[in-house]
C-alpha cells in the first residue's frame, strides 16, 4: 500500500525579518464585525497576526481575544492605542510571560507505519506531557499543551517523523495573581 | 385594545433624529431607503430635507454644516451606489474629526450576501473611514442605535458614524422603546475632562523655564471651545501663536501675537519660529506631516507639550516631553492657573523682524493672480465671511491671505485633501448660517467635480458666492512637476473648461467673469450685492503658472523652507506624498 502524504506543514524556516512575538489580550463587544475592525487596525499598519483566539466571555455580551502579533516593535504602543480607540473594544493590554500565564495547544497527526517508530513518538510525547487522542493503523494524533516555546520544541522534535498535519490553537493568556487580563 | 402609537422602524428613526435636534438631512433617495424617505413625509418633524444632485455633495454639505456650527447634520442615501458615493465625504469628515451621521438604505436582511440588486457591504466598506458604524438587524434597536451614533459622533474626538438600515428593518412595525438608552461599555469620552494633574504641573514648569515659546493651535482647540483660554495663555506669557490649516480662527490671525498658519505653505515667520523656539505648546493639533516635515528634525531643540483628546495621537508622529490627554479647554483652564508672565520681549522682537523681512506678498503686475483676488476678498468681506475651499494652490493662498479672526469660519478639507469639497461645503454652511456671507473659494479642477450642486443652491436661493480661481490647470500638481520633475507637465492641463459664468447662468445663478486685476474689487462688490437674489459665481481668469511660496518640500525639515522660487534643481521629495 502506498500513501502520499499531503501536508502544508513544513519545517519552520528562521525569519530574521520578524521582530516581536507580542501577546495582546482584548475584551470586546460580542457582535458581528468586531473582529474585522480589529484586523484592519493591524493590516493597515503592516502588522501580521500570528495567532488569534476568540471566544465568548462568561458574560455573553462580550468576547475575549488573544492575539499573537509580530511587526515593528516601535509601533506596538500605537497599535494598542488604536485598538483601544475602537468603540467595540472595552480594553486592550499587552502581556509578557513574566506577568501572565501563556498556554498553547497543538494537535499533531503523524504517520507511524511500524511499532518501533510508534514507540519513539510515544516517548517524545511522554516527555512533553502529551497525550494520544487518536490511534489508527498507520497514523496517530497527539495533543501537546503548554507555553508556546514548549509546543514549538515538541513540534521540532516530532519533525524527525512524518508529520501529516498540525493544527494549533494559538496562545491564550491570563494575567497572574490579582491582575486582570 | 388599540395600540397607542403605530410606527414603523423608519418613523421611529426620524422621530429619534428629531428629538436629538437634527436640523438638516442632506441626501438622495432610492429604493432601499424608500421607507425612510416616506417617514420624512409622515412624521411631524422640524427636520428639513435637502435633495442634492449627488451623494458626495450631500456628505460635504453635512460636513460644511458641521464645520460652521459644531453640530452634526445627517446624510440619507440609498444602498449600493448611493452608499458608495458617500465614501469620499465620510473619509473627509473622519480625517478632520467632523461629526456626521450617515444613514444608508440597505437590501432586506435575508438577501444580504447574495449579490442582490444594489446590495453593497457598506458596513464593511466604511469600517476604515468612520469613527463607528452599525448594520441594524432589529427594528426595535433603531432609536438606541441612532442615539448612540449621535453620541459617538459628537463627543470625544468627533467623527462620522454610519448606520446601515435594511429595508425590512425600516419597514417593519416598531414595538420597542423610543427612549431606549445608549449602551456603550467601551466608550468613555467623559474621561477627557479628568486630566492628570502631574502632566499639568510638568507643563507649567516647562512654560516657566521657556524663553522662546510658541503655541501651536489646532482644530482640537476649536472643537473644545478653548478660544478664551488660549488667548489668556498667549497674552499672559507673551507667546506667539501659530495655527494649523484647520485651526484657522481659533486665535485671531490679525492679532499681533499671531504667526498665521505654519507648515508646508505656512508663513516663513511661523516656520522660522518653530525652528528657533525652545518650547512648543501644541494645543489640539495632531502633528500632521504637512506641518512637521521631517519628523526627527521637528522641534529638535525645543521641549514639546502635546495636548490632545485622543490618546492615540501621543507619540504617533512626535514624542512630546509632556503629554496631556484630555479636552483642550479643560487642560488650558488648569494650566492657566499656574502661569505667570514670561520675559519674551527679545523673542517677540526677533519674530517681528522675520515678519518684516519675509511678509506674505505677491506681484501686482503681469496679469491676475489668485493671491490678489483673495486679498481683496478679505477686504471686501471685512474678514467676516465663512470661507470654504477646495484643495490645491487656491486653498493655500486662501489660507495665507484670508486671515480668520473667529472659529468656525474656515472650512477646508485638510487631512483628506478632497477636491470637490469646497462648493457643497459652502452650501451646507450657508444653510447653517443663512445670515453670514459664505464664499466657496474653488479651483477650476475641484469645482467641476461637484458643480452639479449649483441646482441645489439655486433651488434654495442661497446667497452663496462661488469664487472660481481659474487657471485652467491642476495648479498644485503642475507646481510640483515644475519644481521636481523638470517641468514635465503630465495630466494637469484642464483644456476644455466650460465658460463657468455661462454655466452658472444656465443653472439659474448669476455668473460674472473677471480678467483684469483692476476689476477684481468691482466684481466682488457686485457679487456681494447680487447674492441677495441667489448664488453668484465669479469666474476669475488667473495667470497659469504662478507657484505657492513659502514651500517646504514634502518630508523636508522646516529649516529647508523655500521662501521664493529656487534657483537650482530640486530633488524629488521622498518623505511624504
What is the spatial distance between Cα B396 and Cα B476, in angstroms, rounded to a whole number? 10
Condensed to tens digits (0 to 9), the pLDDT of residues A127-169 reads: 999 999 999 999 999 999 999 889 999 999 999 999 999 999 9
What is the spatial distance between Cα A67 and Cα A52, in angstroms, rounded to a whole number? 5
Cell 449627488: give the residue. Answer: B54
What is the spatial distance between Cα B393 and Cα B1, in angstroms, rounded to a whole number? 67
The C-alpha cell that represents B528 in the structure block: 456681494
Q: Give the strands of the sheet with B213-217, arranged side by side.
A: B258-261, B241-243, B213-217, B279-283, B303-308, B322-325
- Percent helix / strand / coil, chain B, rounded to 5: 40, 15, 40
Which of A32, A81, A88 lies at the smallest CB-CB distance from B186? A88
- In degrees and rounded to multiples of 5, residue A147 shows phi and psi of -75, 170
Q: A74 with A124, same domain? A: no
Domain boundary among A95, A114, A139: A95
Helix axes A148-158, A115-127, angle to 10 degrees: 160
- 3-class secondary structure, B215: strand
CATH fold of the domain at B191-357: Rossmann fold (3.40.50)
Q: A83 with A106, same domain? A: no
Cell 472659529: give the residue. Answer: B407
CB distance B104 to B83 below 8 Å: yes
Please indicate whether the domains covering B191-357 and B370-549 agree at the CATH topology level: yes
Blockwise average pLDDT, block size 10, chain B, 577 residues: 74 98 98 98 97 98 98 98 98 98 98 97 98 98 98 98 98 97 97 97 98 98 98 98 98 98 97 97 97 92 97 96 98 98 97 97 93 98 98 98 98 98 98 98 98 98 98 96 94 96 98 97 98 98 95 91 88 83
Sign of the dihedral defined by the CA atoms of residues A23, A24, A25, A29, in that order: negative
The C-alpha cell that represents B234 in the structure block: 498667549
The C-alpha cell that represents A140 in the structure block: 496517530
Kindly list the residues from chain B whose CB atom is less than 8 angstroms away from the CB atom of residue A77. Answer: 315
ipTM comes to 0.92
Select which of B71, B111, B118, B333 is catalytic: B118
Does residue A8 fall inside a structural domain?
Answer: no
Residue of A5 and B470 predicted with greater confidence: B470
Kindly list the residues from chain A whose CB atom is less than 8 angstroms away from the CB atom of residue B123. Answer: 33
Does residue A4 fall inside a structural domain?
Answer: no
Kindly list the residues from chain B whose CB atom is less than 8 angstroms away from the CB atom of residue A90. Answer: 185-186
Residue B176 neighbours by CB distance under 10 Å:
17
For residue A58, the enclosing domain spans 20-95
Q: Report pLDDT for B4.
A: 55
C-alpha distance from A74 to closest chain B C-alpha (Å):
10
C-alpha distance from B164 to closest chain A C-alpha (Å):
13
What is the spatial distance between Cα B61 and Cα A32, in angstroms, rounded to a whole number? 31
- B347: left (phi > 0), else alpha (psi -120 to 50), else beta? alpha
Please state whether beta strands B303-308 and B279-283 pair in parallel, antiparallel, or not at all (unpaired).
Answer: parallel
The 3-state secondary structure of B509-524 reads CEEEEECCHHHHHHHH
CA–CA distance from A30 to each of A64, B141, B162, B167, B499 (Å)? Answer: 9, 16, 19, 25, 56
CB contact under 8 A, B123 and A81: no
Q: Report pLDDT for A16.
A: 47
What is the spatial distance between Cα A157 and Cα A124, in angstroms, rounded to a whole number? 8
Domain limits, chain B: 7-187, 191-357, 370-549
Q: A162 with A117, same domain? A: yes
Q: Give contacts of B 172-191 with A, CB under 8 A.
A: 184-187
| Closest to B413 measured CA to CA, from B244, B245, B172, B229 | B245
Residue A81 contacts B where some CB pair is shorter than 8 Å: yes
Which of A28, A81, A86 lies at the smallest CB-CB distance from B311? A81
Mutate which: B124, B185, B310, B325, vs A, most A CBs within 10 A = B185
Q: A81 with A116, same domain? A: no
Superfamily of domain B370-549: Thiamin diphosphate (ThDP)-binding fold, Pyr/PP domains (3.40.50.970)
Q: Give contacts of B 396-455 with A, CB under 8 A.
A: none
- Tell me, yes or no, if B55 is annotated catalytic: yes
Residue A85 contacts B where some CB pair is shorter than 8 Å: yes
State chain A's mean pLDDT as an integer: 88
Does residue A139 fall inside a structural domain?
Answer: yes
Evaluate if pTM is beyond 0.90: yes
Strands (E), B3-140: 7-8, 24-27, 48-51, 74-77, 100-106, 132-135
Instruction: Spell out the residues 6+ positions from residue A59 whose beta carbon is closer than 8 angstroms to its own.
Output: none
Residue B12 neighbours by CB distance under 10 Å:
27
Cell 494537535: give the residue. Answer: A107
CB contact under 8 A, A37 and B127: yes
Number of structural domains found in chain A: 2
Q: A90 with A56, same domain? A: yes
C-alpha distance from B128 to closest chain A C-alpha (Å):
7
Mutate which: A27, A63, A65, A85, vs B, most B CBs within 10 A = A85
Does residue A1 fall inside a structural domain?
Answer: no
- Tell me, yes or no, if B303 is annotated catalytic: no
Q: A80 with A109, same domain? A: no
Does residue A180 fall inside a structural domain?
Answer: no
Q: A26 with A91, same domain? A: yes
| Closest to B26 measured CA to CA, from B44, B47, B46, B45 | B47
Cα B542 to the center of its chain, rounded Å: 25
CATH architecture designation of domain B7-187: 3-Layer(aba) Sandwich (3.40)
pLDDT of A68 over the 70 cut: yes
β-sheet bridge partners, residue A108? A142, A166
Residue A57 contacts B where some CB pair is shorter than 8 Å: no
Q: Report pLDDT for A71.
A: 78
Residue A84 contacts B where some CB pair is shorter than 8 Å: yes
CB contact under 8 A, B311 and A90: no
- In degrees and rounded to multiples of 5, residue A137 shows phi and psi of -65, -40
pLDDT of A14 over the 90 cut: no
pLDDT band at A46 (very low <50, low <70, confident <90, very high): confident
- Produce one character per residue of B423-454: b if its CB has 16 or more CB atoms within 10 Å, e if not: bbbbbbbbbbbeebbbbbbbbbbbbbbbbbbb
Q: A89 with A34, same domain? A: yes
Q: Report pLDDT for A128.
A: 96
The C-alpha cell that represents B358 in the structure block: 519675509
Domain boundary among A68, A95, A122: A95
Kindly list the residues from chain B whose CB atom is less than 8 angstroms away from the CB atom of residue A33. Answer: 123-124, 127, 135
How many beta-carbon pairs below 8 A join chains A and B? 41
Q: A141 with A164, same domain? A: yes
Q: A134 with A68, same domain? A: no
Residue B124 contacts A where some CB pair is shorter than 8 Å: yes
Q: A83 with A139, same domain? A: no
- 3-class secondary structure, B74: strand
CA–CA distance from B229 to each of A94, B232, B235, B250 (Å)? Answer: 37, 5, 10, 11
Q: A31 with A65, same domain? A: yes
Domain boundary among A46, A64, A95: A95
State the maximum Cα–Cα separation within chain A, in Å, rounded to a whole number. Answer: 58
What is the spatial distance between Cα B143 and Cα B132, in angstroms, rounded to a whole number? 16
Residue B314 contacts A where some CB pair is shorter than 8 Å: yes
- Tell me, yes or no, if B476 is annotated catalytic: yes
A40 to chain B: closest CA residue: B128
CA–CA distance from A74 to each of A45, A71, A77 (Å)? Answer: 12, 9, 7
Cell 507657484: give the residue. Answer: B547
What is the spatial distance between Cα B524 and Cα B535, in angstroms, rounded to a whole number? 13
pLDDT of A13 over the 70 cut: no
Q: What is the torsion angle, in degrees rounded to the nearest 10, for the CA atoms of residue A48, residue A49, residue A50 and residue A55?
A: 180
CB contact under 8 A, A40 and B128: yes
Q: What is the torsion angle, in degrees rounded to the nearest 10, for the CA atoms of residue B396, residue B400, residue B402 and residue B404?
A: 110
Does residue A15 fall inside a structural domain?
Answer: no
Mutate which: B109, B286, B312, vs A, most A CBs within 10 A = B312
B156 to chain A: closest CA residue: A85
CB distance B144 to B182 below 8 Å: yes
Does residue A29 fall inside a structural domain?
Answer: yes
C-alpha distance from A48 to closest chain B C-alpha (Å):
18
What is the spatial distance between Cα A134 and Cα A164, in angstroms, rounded to a whole number? 14
Residue B144 contacts A where some CB pair is shorter than 8 Å: no
Residue A88 contacts B where some CB pair is shorter than 8 Å: yes
Give one DSSP letter per residue of B462-517, joined into a string.
Answer: ---EEEEEE-SB-HHHHHHHHHHSTT---S-B-TT---HHHHHHHHTSEEEEE-SG
Residue A131 contacts B where some CB pair is shorter than 8 Å: no
- Tell me, yes or no, if B423 is annotated catalytic: no
Amino acid at each position: 500500500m502506498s500513501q502520499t502524504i499531503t501536508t502544508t506543514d513544513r519545517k519552520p524556516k528562521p525569519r530574521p525579518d520578524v521582530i516581536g512575538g507580542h501577546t495582546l489580550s482584548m475584551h470586546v463587544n460580542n457582535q458581528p464585525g468586531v473582529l474585522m475592525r480589529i484586523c484592519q487596525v493591524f493590516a493597515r499598519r503592516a502588522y501580521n497576526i500570528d495567532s488569534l483566539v476568540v471566544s465568548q466571555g462568561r458574560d455573553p455580551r462580550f468576547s475575549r481575544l488573544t492575539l499573537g502579533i509580530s511587526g515593528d516593535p516601535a509601533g506596538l504602543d500605537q497599535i494598542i492605542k488604536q485598538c483601544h480607540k475602537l468603540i467595540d473594544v472595552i480594553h486592550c493590554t499587552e502581556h509578557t510571560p513574566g506577568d501572565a500565564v501563556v498556554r498553547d495547544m497543538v494537535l499533531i497527526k503523524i504517520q507511524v507505519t511500524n511499532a518501533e517508530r510508534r514507540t519513539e513518538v510515544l516517548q517524545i510525547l511522554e516527555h512533553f506531557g502529551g497525550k494520544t487522542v487518536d490511534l489508527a493503523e498507520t497514523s496517530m494524533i497527539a495533543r501537546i499543551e503548554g507555553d508556546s516555546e514548549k509546543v514549538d520544541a515538541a513540534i521540532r522534535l516530532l519533525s524527525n517523523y512524518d508529520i501529516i498535519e498540525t493544527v494549533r490553537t494559538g496562545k491564550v493568556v491570563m494575567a497572574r495573581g490579582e491582575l486582570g487580563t | 385594545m388599540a395600540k397607542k402609537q403605530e410606527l414603523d422602524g423608519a418613523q421611529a428613526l426620524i422621530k429619534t433624529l428629531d428629538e436629538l435636534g437634527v436640523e438638516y438631512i442632506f441626501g438622495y433617495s432610492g429604493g432601499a431607503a424608500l421607507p425612510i424617505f416616506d417617514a420624512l413625509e409622515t412624521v411631524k418633524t422640524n427636520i428639513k430635507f435637502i435633495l442634492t444632485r449627488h451623494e458626495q455633495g450631500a456628505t460635504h454639505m453635512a460636513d460644511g454644516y458641521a464645520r460652521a456650527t459644531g453640530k452634526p447634520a445627517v446624510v440619507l442615501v440609498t444602498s449600493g451606489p448611493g452608499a458608495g458615493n458617500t465614501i469620499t465625504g465620510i473619509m473627509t469628515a473622519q480625517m478632520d474629526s467632523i461629526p456626521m451621521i450617515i444613514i444608508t438604505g440597505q437590501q432586506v436582511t435575508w438577501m444580504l450576501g447574495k449579490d442582490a440588486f444594489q446590495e453593497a457591504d457598506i458596513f464593511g466598506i466604511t469600517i476604515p473611514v468612520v469613527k463607528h458604524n452599525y448594520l441594524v438587524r432589529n427594528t426595535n434597536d433603531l432609536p438606541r442605535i441612532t442615539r448612540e451614533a449621535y453620541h459617538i459622533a459628537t463627543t470625544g474626538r468627533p467623527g462620522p458614524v454610519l448606520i446601515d438600515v435594511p429595508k425590512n428593518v425600516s419597514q417593519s412595525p416598531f414595538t420597542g422603546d423610543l427612549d431606549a438608552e445608549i449602551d456603550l461599555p467601551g466608550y468613555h469620552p467623559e474621561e477627557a475632562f479628568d486630566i492628570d494633574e502631574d502632566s499639568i504641573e510638568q507643563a507649567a514648569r516647562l512654560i516657566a523655564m521657556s524663553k522662546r515659546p510658541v503655541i501651536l493651535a489646532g482644530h482640537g482647540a476649536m472643537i473644545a471651545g478653548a478660544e478664551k483660554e488660549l488667548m489668556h495663555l498667549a497674552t499672559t506669557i507673551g507667546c506667539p501663536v501659530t495655527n494649523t490649516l484647520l485651526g484657522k480662527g481659533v486665535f485671531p490671525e490679525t492679532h499681533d501675537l499671531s504667526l498665521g498658519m505654519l507648515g508646508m505653505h505656512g508663513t516663513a515667520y511661523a516656520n522660522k519660529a518653530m525652528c528657533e523656539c525652545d518650547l512648543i505648546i501644541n494645543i489640539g493639533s495632531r502633528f500632521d506631516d504637512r506641518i512637521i516635515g521631517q519628523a526627527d528634525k521637528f522641534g529638535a531643540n525645543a521641549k514639546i507639550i502635546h495636548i490632545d483628546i485622543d490618546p492615540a495621537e501621543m507619540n504617533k508622529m512626535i514624542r512630546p516631553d509632556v503629554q496631556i490627554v484630555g479636552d483642550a479647554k479643560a487642560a488650558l483652564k488648569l494650566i492657566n492657573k499656574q502661569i505667570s508672565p514670561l520675559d519674551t520681549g527679545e523673542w517677540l522682537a526677533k519674530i517681528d523682524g522675520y515678519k518684516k523681512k519675509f511678509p506674505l506678498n505677491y506681484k501686482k503686475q503681469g496679469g491676475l493672480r489668485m493671491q490678489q483676488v483673495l486679498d481683496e476678498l478679505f477686504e471686501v468681506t471685512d474678514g467676516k465671511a465663512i470661507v470654504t475651499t477646495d484643495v490645491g494652490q487656491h486653498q493655500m493662498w486662501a489660507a495665507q491671505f484670508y486671515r480668520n479672526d473667529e472659529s468656525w469660519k474656515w472650512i477646508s478639507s485638510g487631512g483628506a485633501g478632497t477636491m470637490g469639497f469646497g462648493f457643497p461645503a459652502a452650501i451646507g454652511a450657508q444653510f447653517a448660517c443663512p445670515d453670514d456671507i459664505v464664499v466657496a473659494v474653488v479651483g477650476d479642477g475641484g469645482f467641476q467635480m461637484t458643480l452639479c450642486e449649483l441646482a441645489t443652491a439655486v433651488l434654495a436661493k442661497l446667497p452663496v458666492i462661488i469664487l472660481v480661481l481659474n487657471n485652467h490647470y491642476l495648479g498644485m500638481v503642475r507646481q510640483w512637476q515644475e519644481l521636481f520633475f523638470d517641468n514635465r507637465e503630465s495630466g494637469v492641463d484642464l483644456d476644455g473648461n466650460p465658460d463657468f459664468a455661462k454655466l452658472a447662468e444656465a443653472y439659474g445663478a448669476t455668473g460674472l467673469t473677471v480678467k483684469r486685476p483692476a476689476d477684481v474689487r468691482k466684481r466682488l462688490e457686485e457679487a456681494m450685492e447680487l447674492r441677495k437674489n441667489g448664488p453668484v459665481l465669479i469666474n476669475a481668469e488667473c495667470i497659469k503658472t504662478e507657484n505657492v511660496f513659502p514651500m517646504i518640500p514634502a518630508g523636508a525639515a522646516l529649516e529647508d523652507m523655500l521662501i521664493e522660487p529656487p534657483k537650482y534643481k530640486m530633488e524629488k521629495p521622498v518623505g511624504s506624498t
